[in-house]
Structure 1
């Protein structure tokens, strides 16, 4: 038995174990689920050691003597005390530090995002698509302007913004469903073509 055939059989078995959840939760599904979690954790640990610890901790601090990086390393290590009952309070310091950083950084990011969207909306209205985008942008923004009642002509225009949002949400949901169906088709093709060889 070749290694490719063996790996295909193992992958097919685990795929069928996952698909068995469609009937009901069973030991085969739980085994495949826990195996996925364990393999993912092992891969993450190795990846973290090779791609993060070595280039960003070991080489700069130990080999290049850049001791300023010890402070962020210690802050990162304090996160691990979250799993201790007695020393769990130490994990609050890096969390508070990062929350302060996020508290300052996120509004700046939102501000930059708003400016980018405004710049993208300020284009010459050369075709019907650009006109529809401008109308949709204004209507959606006015939909969240609650100081004026949504009545009359203003209410109808704001209702257009609601339709724009529903179309956007529907497109996002459709994209998510299509991505999941694409994964399902890929697994079925693997089983039918690569494992069982029904279609060549």
Structure 2
């Protein structure tokens, strides 16, 4: 029975994989069916995950076991219920308050983390002596980091017209920015390529048994 279920799972996986790949030719019913099943399964999975791994242990269990010390949890519970009011047109206005709190809090936390991890770390990385390293590679890398940071920031300095000598660091900043954007794009493409390789490996190895 277990072997039969495994075989059925492999064939279903192959079917949905090929259905998604069929979009490369054109939009078709096979792709739409696979897409809708994937979205539905993902939504159902995260709903069950949220209930059993977040709400029950972090809300209901604490309220039922020690309500006196955890009554404050009624506030996020009420905000969560208000968020669900978006499904009812006459009560939709209630969802604006938890939405505003969530967006504002998330933006503030993200801004603080970005300030600490990116802004301050970037400044600290440029305030070092590059010649303290013994390796020529580390020395050159530190110098490039300092030059790239300063020239990249200068590129966004628009209070003075960048011409003549002042145009040089701006051009250097453009090159560093383009290299950075290109590396980020390449990393994203490689991540997608790794997913493609994983699916092709599944089709050739587990489904068709063409490779071992």
Over 3 Å counting, the alpha-carbon distance change for 1:8 and 1:85 in structure 2 is same
Give the aligned partner of residue 25 of structure 1.
27
Q: Post-superposition shift, 1:179? A: 1.1
Q: SS of the counterpart of 2:90? A: coil
Over 3 Å counting, the alpha-carbon distance change for 1:22 and 1:103 in structure 2 is closer
The counterpart of 1:73, out of the listed 54, 73, 77, is: 77
Aligned residues: 200
User: TM-score, length-normalised on structure 1?
Assistant: 0.93
| 1:136 matched to 2:148 | yes
Q: Which has the higher contact order (CA 8 A, sep 6+)?
A: 1
Q: Post-superposition shift, 1:2? A: 2.7
Give the aligned partner of residue 66 of structure 2.
64
Alignment of 1:180-199 (within 5 A): 180-199=192-211
| 1:124 matched to 2:129 | yes
RMSD (Å) for aligned C-alpha atoms: 1.6
Give the aligned partner of residue 101 of structure 1.
105
Q: SS of the counterpart of 2:161? A: coil
Give the aligned partner of residue 173 of structure 2.
161
Q: 158-167 or 21-30: which moved more?
A: 21-30
Q: 125-134 or 92-101: which moved more?
A: 92-101
Q: SS of the counterpart of 2:122? A: helix
Over 3 Å counting, the alpha-carbon distance change for 1:195 and 1:102 in structure 2 is closer
Report the Cα distance in structure 2 between the residues aligned to 1:91 and 1:54, rounded to whole angstroms: 22
Give the aligned partner of residue 93 of structure 2.
89
Give the aligned partner of residue 184 of structure 2.
172
Note the alpha carbon deviations across 1:28-72, whole angstroms, 9 max, x for none.
111111110111111111100111111111111122211111011
Q: Post-superposition shift, 1:108? A: 3.5
Q: Post-superposition shift, 1:100? A: 4.2
Note the alpha carbon deviations across 1:146-175, whole angstroms, 9 max, x for none.
111111122111110001000111111111
Report the Cα distance in structure 1 between the residues aligned to 2:178 and 2:203, rounded to whole angstroms: 37
- 5+ residue gaps, structure 1: none
Give the aligned partner of residue 53 of structure 2.
51
Give the aligned partner of residue 39 of structure 1.
41
Over 3 Å counting, the alpha-carbon distance change for 1:164 and 1:102 in structure 2 is same
Over 3 Å counting, the alpha-carbon distance change for 1:100 and 1:171 in structure 2 is closer
Q: Post-superposition shift, 1:116? A: 2.3
Over 3 Å counting, the alpha-carbon distance change for 1:100 and 1:16 in structure 2 is closer
